Amino acid sequence: MKLATWNINSARARTDRILDVLQRHDLDVLALQEIKCKPEQFPSEQIEAAGYEIAAHGFNQWNGVALISRLGLSDIRTSFPNQPGFTKGTPDTEALYLPGDMPEARAIGAKIDGIDIWSLYVPNGRAVGDPHYHYKLDFLAHLNAYAQRTIATDPSAQFAFVGDWNVIPTDEDVWDPAAMEGGLYLSDAERAAFFAFEETGMREVSRNFATNYTFWDYQQLRFPKNQGMRIDFVYVSPALSTRAVGAEIDRDERKGKGASDHVPVIVEFSD
């Protein structure tokens, strides 16, 4: 299986690029984040004509995730167990993120060729200490708890958490750590939440094969200066990690007019 994850930053604005990446990399599965549309607005016709099935989840022009597969899609879910919600504009911090609230469109999962694949758009956090920051940490904690339960129930489970994690795991994953305003993305708590998945037994498999940034801001000529960060990752279960045989980061996809600010991260798994 050849699987890619990509924060597309509007599926409708970049339909041609989606089709090109699917065909150029001969992808079996493409997980998208920030599709920024409702499922009925997703550019399904062109993609289905190329031989793919689609599962999309979005409420409006914000967030949104999707899975595109030519290997079938089953058991589609639009949130993981106990995924926290977030209510904007409420001054009471404790009321901002409750497991029982309606979650934002930040996760979609499906069974694809025997693997449970989740496309994830982890909350940004906005600023260290902001209510959205605590929501981000809560999101990651509940996701990790889900992984822990799954592995404990079935150590042979094959599943993948892929997407935009909005965490810079190490200082080498950003052009200048000091340039990150307020330390967002690389705070101790964010990094601990990211590496907690390794403690659970999961493995981030793209780093074994590919080194590069995955995001360059549109401002201040960040891409031409190569002032980027690595925040898009492929975390997989212990059983699936042994099947990872290669990976690449398609840096060239950031070039040209109308590019997303992220690029695809591609991982190949053996049968």
Distance CA 8, CA 43 (A): 13
Any catalytic annotation for residue 262?
yes
Long-range contacts formed by 123-126: CB under 8 A, 24+ apart: 123/86, 123/166, 124/166, 124/184, 125/166, 125/184, 125/185, 125/190, 126/184
Amino acid at 230: R
Is 134 annotated in the active site?
no
> What is the rounded distance in angstroms from the CA atom of residue 76 to the CA atom of residue 26?
23
Q: Which of 57, 134, 142, 262 is catalytic?
A: 262
Catalytic residue among 113, 116, 164, 232: 164
Residue 78 corresponds to which amino acid? T
Q: Is 75 a catalytic residue?
A: no
Q: Judging by beta carbons within 10 Å of its beta carbon (0-12, 13-18, 19+), is residue 188 exposed, middle or buried?
A: exposed
Binding residues: 7, 34, 164, 166, 261-262
Q: Which residues define the annotated binding site for Mg(2+)?
A: 7, 34, 164, 166, 261-262
Catalytic residues: 121, 164, 262
